[in-house]
Structure 1
Amino acid sequence: MKKTAHSALLDEIKAIACIFVILIHCKFPGITGDLCEALARFAVPFFFVISGKYLLKESCIEVSDIRKTVFQKTKKLLGVLFPVWIFYTVYSFWYSCTVGHTVSEWLSDKYNSFEFSRLILFNSGKFIYDFTYSFDHLWFILALIYVYLLVIIFARFVRSWAPFLTVSLMMLLFVLELLQTYYPIRPFDISISTWYVVRNWLFVGVPFTMLGVWFSDKLSKKEFFYNVSAGITCLALGIISTMAEYSIWNSKEVYFGSFLIVLALLILENAGRNMGKKKFFHIKTFEFVGRTISSHVYYMHVFVISLFGWFIDRINPEIYGNESFMYARPFMVIVLTIVLSLTIYKIKTLTKKDKNV
């Protein structure tokens, strides 16, 4: 099937978003790195929104149809989660052994009741990350599975509730982030300043996924939401707002500017669909990356960062003090991640061809 203009533009945005995710976990040094990280915070909410936008077709109205559709998507997500989680678990074990940890130390550190409770409540914990790869990027898949399960349970109301859930939970998200700075309460005896207390399925996953559902159902049909000028203005305001928020509150999981950037990208993608491909400037490489390997880039970049660091620690750990190397490091990680992701894609393609022969 020939790709449409809006899907081509969406692929390019996905590629850019994946690169920004890498820049969250592999920063440039100094203020440059901090600002890039702040701007990159739109990326994960954007992926939630896209998941919601394409969650239900217009024809998917009946409760049984909604449940069947979302159940299939949940199964697909679980099919992704388990092999990726097993891969990282094996890698964690190998890494721990190389630095002198015993098997019992590794097991007791990762698998205990406290870490399990963090996994269940907040989609975080050492079940899905530890010192060997200290970024819990798999929380996104877990949170999205939670959202899908809620959609299955409340299928009758998901479309009508989407606007309320988007607005109310997003407002609560930003209120909680203000509490992190000005009044750090301790729910469940865990400081609200701990990242996963706010960044989880409830306060990020649900509102941004529901924004995607709401946009697909209603907002995309309104003139403002396919106006290129509105999208560009919203994007500029999002960038300015993010930088201003960072200057006031420093690092946050999601900025209000992040929301504006996500909304701008939705508007521009919607405008691309309405105006046609010739109206937009396209970068074929980004389109290819977004279409074919963006998910691999997301899943594998933490492995590349960790293994890259493992090699550097054994070759020349003092190089971390070299500013030029620290500026080059994110670019090296991006290239290595794309190469690895492309390799995985090619292997999968060849495997499928062999099965079909």
Structure 2
Amino acid sequence: MRNKTFDKIKAVACILVILIHCKFPSVIGDLFEALARFGVPMFFAIAGVYLAKKNDDITLVRKGLSKKLKKTGIITLKIWGVYTVYSFIYAMAVHYGAAAWFHEKFNLFEFSRLILFNSGKFIYDFTYAFDHLWYLFALIYVYGLCYIFAPVMKTLSKPLTFILILFLYFGEFLQLFYPIRPFGISVSVWYVIRNWLFVGIPFTMLGYWMKQDEVTLKLEQPLTLGSALSVTGVFLTFAEYKIFGSVEVYFGSLFLVVGLLIVGLNAEQRTHEKRPDAEKGRPAKYLAFTGENLSSNIYYFHVIAISFFGFVIDRTVPDAYANTLFMYLRPIFVIIITILISLLLYMVKFITVNSNKNLRK
């Protein structure tokens, strides 16, 4: 049975991620951005929960990972293709020049950034500015490495989690207080810390071993603890933002991810015990539906929505950016547009799948 709690968490997380790239004005926007930083680590952690079943042998683990790797690779290629076509059309619309566009994106330096850090202009440029697709490329790395090291994955999952998370926060400490330049690359550059190695692997392994070890069964009141950790994570994130400003992954984000994992795994355990929690009202059902069917496309396409919305505003009412009300409404418009795009894609897929089923009958 599907875990509706994780679906709701994904729905909230993917909408909050939009507020990293399209912020509300003033301190409200900063606080939402800080809180939203838990979103992508949460996606990796949920991926870790479903990395393998508890009793799978190595052959079955690798078979499942092979399917995930193939599916993620195809999705990544499609989404990257959409953004590349969009980027080219945008660049031509503003008379940037095809040759300039091509050489800026596709060169050895940018390709090396993609390979090493899951970033670079290979996957983002001036036309849409944000490299959110790093998540998909990092997920490919995670699945690929888990496939290679499947025989020792369970043994290494805990030490990898703790060691790499330690390196993640040590790297952020360096960013804040001692910005060194190893190999000529400043540690202050966002992708040096936020990549497959320091975010993707540890948070995926966190979700994996918490599920494998049945952590919620070892806790007396998992729901209470999970809720307490989540609430603590929210306030800790706000405190860290006030003290340190913007960072990639707050310590409060880790509290949030662990707390929400406990809440979600507890809900899954209740379902297995045939004690499912009832859906309370339409908002909960809408959240679960959004998380299950729309969250991926909301994450994939929100940057196009931001870019295109900005393109239209720049050429119609550029003075709108000076209007405070508009700047507060702008993220809401983008969220609505992105959800509508995702809903349209879901409906097209739903109709296509059902039509194919009817044709086979």
Q: Do the two structures share a fold, i.e. TM-score over 0.5?
A: yes
Question: Which residues of 2 match residues 188-199 of structure 1 at below 5 A?
Answer: 188-199=183-194
**SS in structure 2 at match of 1:100:** coil
Alignment of 1:148-297 (within 5 A): 148-224=143-219, 227-275=222-270, 276-278=275-277, 281=280, 283-297=284-298
Gaps in structure 1 of 5+ consecutive residues: none
Shift of the alpha carbon at 1:219? Answer: 4.5
- 1:117-128 equivalences under 5 Å are 117-128=112-123
Paired residue type of 1:322: N
Range that drifts further, 118-127 or 346-355: 346-355
Structure 1 position 10, deviation (Å): 1.5
Contact 1:225 1:267 in 2 (8 A): no
Please show how residues 75-114 of structure 1 align to structure 2 within 5 Å: 75-114=70-109
Aligned residues of 1:225 and 1:270 also touching (Cα < 8 A): no
What is the match of residue 56 of structure 1?
A: 52
User: Cα 1:264–1:342, aligned 2, differ >3 Å: closer, same or farther?
Assistant: same
Offset of residue 348 of structure 1: 1.3
Q: Distance in 1 between matches of 2:135 and 2:85?
A: 20
Percent of pairs with identical residues: 48
Unaligned runs of 5+ in 2: none
Instruction: Measure how far apart 1:269 and its partner are.
Output: 1.3
Equivalent residue number for residue 34 of structure 2: 38
Residue 132 of structure 1 deviates from its aligned partner by 0.6
1:308 maps to which residue?
309
The 2-side partners of 1:155 and 1:351 are apart by 36
What letter is aligned with 1:65?
Answer: L
Distance 2:214 2:166 in 1: 19
SS of the residue 2:114 aligns to: helix
Cα distance in 2, alignment partners of residues 223 and 187 from structure 1: 43
The two structures have a TM-score, normalised by structure 2, of 0.95
- Give the direction of change, closer, same or farther, for the CA distance of 1:274–1:280 in structure 2 (3 Å limit): farther
- CA apart distance, 1:241: 1.0
Q: Which runs of 4+ in 1 moved over 3 A?
A: 274-282
**TM score, norm. by length of structure 1:** 0.96
Once residues 112 and 296 of structure 2 are traced to their aligned partners in structure 1, the CA distance between those partners, rounded to angstroms, is 27
Q: Deviations over 1:287-326 (max 9, x none)?
A: 1111111111111111101000000001111111111111
Q: Counterparts of 1:340 and 1:260 in 2: how far apart (Å)?
A: 32
Q: What does residue 356 of structure 2 align with?
A: 355
**Do the aligned partners of 1:304 and 1:336 also contact (CA within 8 Å) in 2?**
yes
1:127-156 residue CA offsets vs partner (Å, 9 max, x unmatched): 100011111111001001101111111111
Kept in 2: contact 1:226–1:274 (CA 8 A):
no
